[in-house]
Amino acid sequence: MPYRLIYACCALFINFLAQAEALETITVSATPMKVDDAGSSITIISKQDILDRNINSLQSLFRQVPGFAISQQGSSGAISQLRVRGAEANQVLVLINGIEVNDPAQGSEFDFSQITISDIERIEIVRGPQSALWGSDAMAGVVHIITSPSEVSSSLEGSVQTGSFATRQMTLSTNFKTLRNRIKFTADHLETDGTNISRSGLEDDGLDNLTLGLSGRLDTTDDLSFRYTVRYTDKTSEYDATDFYVTGLPTDAYYRTQSEYLYSGISVKYSINDKFDHSLALQRTDTDNQTRDDNPVESITRATREAAKYQLNYYNAANRLSLLAERESEKYEQRGSASFFGDPNRNESQNTDSLAAEYRYDGGRFHFSASGRRDHNAEFQNAASWRVTSAFKLDQYTLYGSIGESVKNPTFTERFGFFTNFIGNPDLNPETSYQWEIGVRSSLIDESLDVAATYFNANLENEINGFVFDFTTGGFTSANIEGESDRSGVELEMKYKPAAHWGLRATYTYLDANQQSAAGKVPEVRRPEHSGSVVLNYRWSRSGINLAITRTGKQHDDFFPPFPPFQERVVIDAFTLVSASGYYKLSENVTLNARLENVSDESYEQVFGYRSPGFGAYIGIRIQR
């Protein structure tokens, strides 16, 4: 995109409305830092933001984040992928209370349909290359979901909700606090009949999701503290078959996938004085995915990730130095029935030892950071990642930028996956990405108006295409694409809050994402060129309303018909979603709430051939004390 056009967009946008959380701190860094000091693009979503919008899913919430593109294969519970700035879904690292939760058994992606948001206290989003600190999965950014106990006094909260598509949800949360101890327990059960995801037929595809969580913090002394998290999810989701003989599209069938996720971790931090602290973290992720279809033998993928991380931090008035050492072990298990394509039953594993360092300078107006990481992997060549950021503050504006290089290793699924008519490719090479961004943010009109505008650019070498038709087998496989894949664009983000009782947010993203093909550059799939949102929130003394409009522009997808050429590029139409919600406090402890989704009953698809839900209405009650 020409720089004059970028400048014009930014200038026009600054004359509009906007905000960033200037004085908030983020933890998606070696040490906590203020958002306004960061040299990266950051979005913070608070618990109050979630309550104000009365949103029930991360998918709906993430449509309001710049640079994000959500693709869900149908209704609630269907696989949900997140792509950031045109990167692939397995290039975004997801953390829950600091624990890496990307699923090694599902292409190293995180399925956001498993998350219910009733217990979320805060979400921190950092876009751009983060691999120098967080490793291979953080090539395009980090999403940190925080459910840890809040700093408020002890509390007890429960809610019940019902509505369209026979949806029923019950939640319970208790937060216990003493002088040195904080404990939070949550339980959430969501059940819905769902909607029919295929274009024809009447069979609905439902969801049953149970989530239990326990997290806490114990400060044994002023210098020694412990944190712990255990989170368990049991999710059963229904989906449709694919007609491989006539249409190549989804068709009604009673197929289902049962998934179990267990995330656990404990960390200890010891401060020697006001200049040094040590921390040690032990983490484990267990996933189990069992798919039942027409095959008499279940298709099963399981994975375990264990990690041990040590960090040493040094502080003085303006300088921060962090040294990190990490050991990560992953195990992958796949079970299924053999066919003429081959035998899917196998066990694989890999280990990675890493060393990393970050230096940060926090001056009055100038802020700078440099980080580097060296990964020693048992399966691939040793790799290095690095990143440099800076931020310079003027009177009302902050200029910021970052540059970095990351390496993403092929996933177990891409190398050894075996399902339906897909066979993995064990000879894949790692992907390498070189990225940079530059932007400006500002706080105007007595800090009631904040704005951020960013230009980003990324080049990806050896991009892995996960669905390449293999004429030798008649099925599909994964392969490295020769040449470079290019991603660039502009993100605009704003919030206007002239008074405590109302506010306006807006975002816009322009994305140009292309990959190499035999015919030259072609658009990447499931990445809209234009997307944006507008959110209005208004509160009275005992009630409030919220109106959200999101726009997803047209995008491309791959379609695999059962006849030549067996793979073709298709276009998914643009769509606009309107939602409205409100609440009314019957008393200090009892709140009624209601939500309308897809108010205009828009007919749309996020993945080619998979219908998304129409109009839905929901009502609930929340009790807290």
The whole-chain average pLDDT of the chain stands at: 91
Q: What is the model's pTM?
A: 0.93
pLDDT of 33 > 80? The answer is yes
**Cα–Cα dist 554/530, whole Å:** 8
**What residues are paired with 233 via a beta bridge?**
211, 261
**Cα–Cα dist 266/558, whole Å:** 42
What's residue 14's pLDDT? 35
SS3 content of the chain, % helix, strand, coil (to 5): 10, 60, 30
Asked if 184 contacts 163 with a C-beta cutoff of 8 angstroms, the reply is no
∠ CA 221-223-229, rounded to 5°: 80
- Give the tens place of pLDDT for each residue, 110-140: 999 999 898 999 999 999 999 999 998 999 9
Phi, psi of 37 (to 5 degrees): -95, -10
What's residue 422's pLDDT? 81
pLDDT of 541 > 70? The answer is yes
∠ CA 577-579-582, rounded to 5°: 175
pLDDT of 11 > 50? The answer is no
Closest among 359, 357, 427 to 385, alpha carbons compared: 357
The answer to whether the Cα torsion of 337, 342, 346, 348 is positive or negative is negative
**Cα–Cα dist 557/14, whole Å:** 34
Token pair, residue 37, equals 């000091």
Q: Does domain 3-624 have CATH number 2.40.170.20?
A: yes
**Cα–Cα dist 527/456, whole Å:** 15
What's residue 466's pLDDT? 83
pLDDT of 287 > 80? The answer is yes
Q: Cα–chain-centroid distance for residue 52? A: 21
Q: For 134, which DSSP code?
A: H
3-class DSSP assignment, residue 75: coil
pLDDT of 19 > 50? The answer is no
The CB density around residue 86, as the number of other CB atoms within 10 Å, is 29
What's residue 53's pLDDT? 85
pLDDT of 349 > 60? The answer is yes
What's residue 471's pLDDT? 73
pLDDT of 46 > 80? The answer is yes
Percent of the chain at pLDDT above 90? 76
Token pair, residue 508, equals 């816009």
Amino acid, single-letter form, for residue 588:
E
pLDDT band at residue 472 using 50, 70 and 90 as cut-offs: confident
The CB density around residue 331, as the number of other CB atoms within 10 Å, is 18
What's residue 341's pLDDT? 67
Specify the range with the lowest mean pLDDT, choosing from 143-152, 351-360, 386-395.
143-152
Q: What is the mean pLDDT of residues 561-589?
A: 94
pLDDT of 264 > 80? The answer is yes
Asked if 358 contacts 369 with a C-beta cutoff of 8 angstroms, the reply is yes
Token pair, residue 106, equals 């599902």
Phi-psi map region of 412: left, alpha, beta (phi>0 left; psi -120 to 50 alpha): alpha
What's residue 420's pLDDT? 66
Asked if 492 contacts 511 with a C-beta cutoff of 8 angstroms, the reply is no
pLDDT of 154 > 90? The answer is no
Q: What is the mean pLDDT of residues 52-68?
A: 92
Give the ranges where 31-97 is alpha helix by DSSP (H): 47-53, 58-62
- Pick from 151-155, 260-264, 514-518 the range whose average pLDDT is largest: 260-264
- Give the tens place of pLDDT for each residue, 156-198: 999 999 999 999 999 999 999 888 899 999 999 999 999 999 9
Upstream peptide bond of 2 is cis (omega within 30 degrees of 0)? no
Amino acid, single-letter form, for residue 170:
M
Token pair, residue 2, equals 């020409």
pLDDT of 13 > 50? The answer is no
Strand ranges, E, within 416-483: 418-419, 422-423, 431-444, 449-461, 464-470, 475-480
**Cα–Cα dist 239/254, whole Å:** 7
Give the ranges where 373-423 is alpha helix by DSSP (H): 412-416
